[in-house]
């Protein structure tokens, strides 16, 4: 399993994936201090399966979609809220994912139900719940939107 952790932050999602046997985890983080901490943690844990990229998550997702289509089984998206990141990043995930790949996405609002945003039309919410003020979702491309790699 290969995972892409966009907006890595503390790296909790990516480190957990690596600890559970992911063969490759790519973490993307824009903050230099956070990147330094991620690198220190990776080195301390000897987590050789983890690669850390400093940069913009949207650009990284778009570049990976061009270079490595169909490469990732799981993409983590836990972006800063109220900035429209999910709407911007999800289209690149269409190409990034393996045919049965999943996206784990956190948001400040639910992505399913009657109030689902229009940009969710190609995505199916496989699972969703709420913890405190955070809505978290497991997404899969709808079969009509699948892109074969």
Helix (H) or strand (E) run with residue 12 in it = helix 12-19
Q: Is residue 148 over pLDDT 60?
A: no
The yes or no reply on domain 69-149 and CATH 3.40.250.10 is no
pLDDT for residue 128: 96
pLDDT digits (tens, 9 = 90+) for 42-79: 999 999 999 999 999 999 999 999 999 999 999 999 99
Phi and psi, residue 141, nearest 5° = -60, 140
pLDDT for residue 144: 61
Terminal C-alpha separation, the chain: 16
Q: Is residue 137 over pLDDT 70?
A: yes
Handedness of CA 123, 125, 131, 132 (dihedral sign): positive
**Residue 134 bridge partners (DSSP):** 131
Q: Is residue 29 over pLDDT 50?
A: yes
Which of 111, 113, 78, 71 has its CA nearest to residue 94? Answer: 71
- Confidence bin at 147 (pLDDT 50/70/90): low
Name the segment(s) of the chain with CATH classification 3.40.50.150. 69-149
Q: Percentage of residues in the chain with pLDDT exceeding 90?
A: 90
């Amino acid at each position: 399993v290969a995972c892409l952790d966009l907006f890595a932050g503390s790296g909790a999602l990516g480190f957990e994936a690596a600890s559970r046997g992911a063969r490759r985890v790519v973490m993307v983080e824009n903050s230099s201090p956070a990147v330094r901490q991620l690198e220190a943690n990776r080195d301390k844990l000897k987590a050789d399966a983890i690669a850390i990229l400093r940069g913009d998550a949207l650009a990284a997702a778009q570049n990976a979609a061009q270079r490595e289509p169909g490469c990732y089984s799981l993409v983590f998206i836990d972006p800063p809220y109220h900035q429209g990141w999910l709407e911007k990043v999800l289209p690149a995930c269409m190409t990034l994912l393996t045919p049965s790949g999943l996206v784990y996405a956190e948001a400040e609002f639910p992505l399913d139900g009657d109030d689902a945003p229009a940009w969710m039309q190609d995505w199916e919410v496989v699972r969703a719940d709420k913890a405190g003020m955070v809505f978290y979702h497991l997404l899969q491309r709808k079969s009509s939107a699948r892109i074969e790699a």
